[in-house]
Structure 1
């Protein structure tokens, strides 16, 4: 990407970008000289200069004729960043007022890595009690910071990893078949189950940069099944000394996460068993 394209990507018009870059090469300059250098009609150049002045990207020296000097790129980019952050906050506030989330129990397909990862981050950030995961190294490395943040909020977290067991403030259980699975599995696995009320299952490309297949659902029934299966696998592969604790903290019936409570109602204390699914 050259300088012109970079500025266009940040919201400049093509003429604005070319004018600003021309000023960086040599200034001060008059509108007439810029029109000659760029082979553009003077009215379009003066219109671009007026817009650049409004954006805070050029300084104007009054005189006859007027001359223009570029604001240093670092200052321009910092101003653009602040403007973007302000507009993003305003847009987020307006969009939140429109959004009325409702559980619909459907299964949705996700098509891009960015979409998968943003959904994963949102799920982790929205966890209220429990989170289970099955993560190959690329997605684990990407999501580790938000998992740590969730753990710091008191979320109970446990899951399977396929590399050396990392030192984390939550339970990471290394799959005993990690080497075989990483060699034979057709991609990088990403599975998240949050509060037994929503789940994300994705098969990424081996380097984690593409999506082969990915689905998300907030079906409470399916999320409970995913939670039960993943919890059992984590406990099965955990050290024997940790299994009883994990049964209490992560088994579906034993821990009664929010999704299960919504599905069947809060179980009575007599119905809980530490060794249940």
Structure 2
């Protein structure tokens, strides 16, 4: 990608990007000289310069003729970032007012890695009591910060990993089939069950940058089944000394997570955190 293409991706028009880059190569410059250098009609150059001035990307020296100097790239990019964050915050506030989430029990397909990972992070951030996971190294590394934050909120977290057990604040159990799975599984696995009320299952490409197949659902029934199966697999792979603790903390009926309580109409119970 060329420098001007990078600016276009950030919201500059093609002419604005070319004018700014030309000024970086040699400034100050008049609009007429820029038009000659870029092979553009002067009116389009002066229109671009006016827009760049409004964006805070050029400085104007008044005189006859006027000359233009670029604002340093770091300042321009910082201003763009601040503007984006302001607009993002405003848009988020307005969109939240429109969004009325409702459970519909359907299964949805996710198509991109970005969509899968953002959904995973959002699920973890919404967790109130329990998170179970089955994560290959690429998705595990990407989700450690979110899992650590949830653990700090006293959410009980446990799951299967397929490499050396990392030092984290939640339970990581090395899969008993780790070597076989690493060698034979057709991609990087990502399974996440939150509060037994929603689940995400994805098969990423081996390096974790693409999606082979991915589904998400907030079906309480299916989420409870996913929770039950994954918690059993975690306990079976865990050392004997920790199985009883994991059973108390994560077995579906024994721990009664929110999804199960909603499914069977059971009253809410106090939140369970990570058991020491």
Normalising by the residue count of structure 1, what TM-score does the alignment of the two structures yield? 0.95
1:118-137 maps to which residues of 2 (within 5 A)? 118-137=118-137
Q: After TM superposition, which residue ranges in structure 1, 4 or more long, deviate above 3 angstroms?
A: none
Three-state SS of the structure 1 residue aligned to 2:168 is coil
Structure 1 distance, partners of 2:262, 2:14, is: 54
Structure 2 distance, partners of 1:50, 1:13, is: 12
Alpha-carbon distance, 1:81 to partner: 0.6
Alpha-carbon distance, 1:267 to partner: 7.0
Structure 2 distance, partners of 1:230, 1:267, is: 24
Gaps of 5+ in 2: 270-276
Deviations 1:53-76 (A, max 9, x none): 000000011111111111011110
Deviations 1:34-58 (A, max 9, x none): 1111111111011000000000000
Q: What's the counterpart of residue 272 of structure 2?
A: none
Structure 2 distance, partners of 1:268, 1:50, is: 61
Deviations 1:75-129 (A, max 9, x none): 1011001001101001111111110000000000001111100100000011010
Q: What's the counterpart of residue 108 of structure 2?
A: 108
Q: What's the counterpart of residue 203 of structure 2?
A: 203
Structure 1 distance, partners of 2:223, 2:11, is: 42
Structure 1 distance, partners of 2:265, 2:249, is: 19
Q: What's the counterpart of residue 99 of structure 2?
A: 99
**C-alpha contact 1:198 1:216 (8 A) present in aligned 2:** yes
Alpha-carbon distance, 1:266 to partner: 2.0
Three-state SS of the structure 1 residue aligned to 2:93 is helix
Q: What's the counterpart of residue 8 of structure 1?
A: 8
Q: What's the counterpart of residue 77 of structure 1?
A: 77
Structure 2 distance, partners of 1:212, 1:80, is: 35
Gaps of 5+ in 1: 270-277
Q: What's the counterpart of residue 41 of structure 1?
A: 41
- CA distance 1:122–1:237, change in 2 (3 Å): same
- CA distance 1:113–1:4, change in 2 (3 Å): same
Deviations 1:222-248 (A, max 9, x none): 000000000111111111111111111
Deviations 1:143-177 (A, max 9, x none): 11111111011100000111111111111110121
Alpha-carbon distance, 1:188 to partner: 0.8
Structure 1 distance, partners of 2:171, 2:51, is: 55
Alpha-carbon distance, 1:265 to partner: 2.0
**C-alpha contact 1:256 1:267 (8 A) present in aligned 2:** no
Normalising by the residue count of structure 2, what TM-score does the alignment of the two structures yield? 0.96
Structure 1 distance, partners of 2:176, 2:218, is: 30
Three-state SS of the structure 1 residue aligned to 2:214 is strand
**C-alpha contact 1:134 1:161 (8 A) present in aligned 2:** yes
Alpha-carbon distance, 1:268 to partner: 10
Q: What's the counterpart of residue 241 of structure 1?
A: 241
- CA distance 1:267–1:229, change in 2 (3 Å): farther
Structure 1 distance, partners of 2:264, 2:154, is: 25
**C-alpha contact 2:261 2:268 (8 A) present in aligned 1:** no
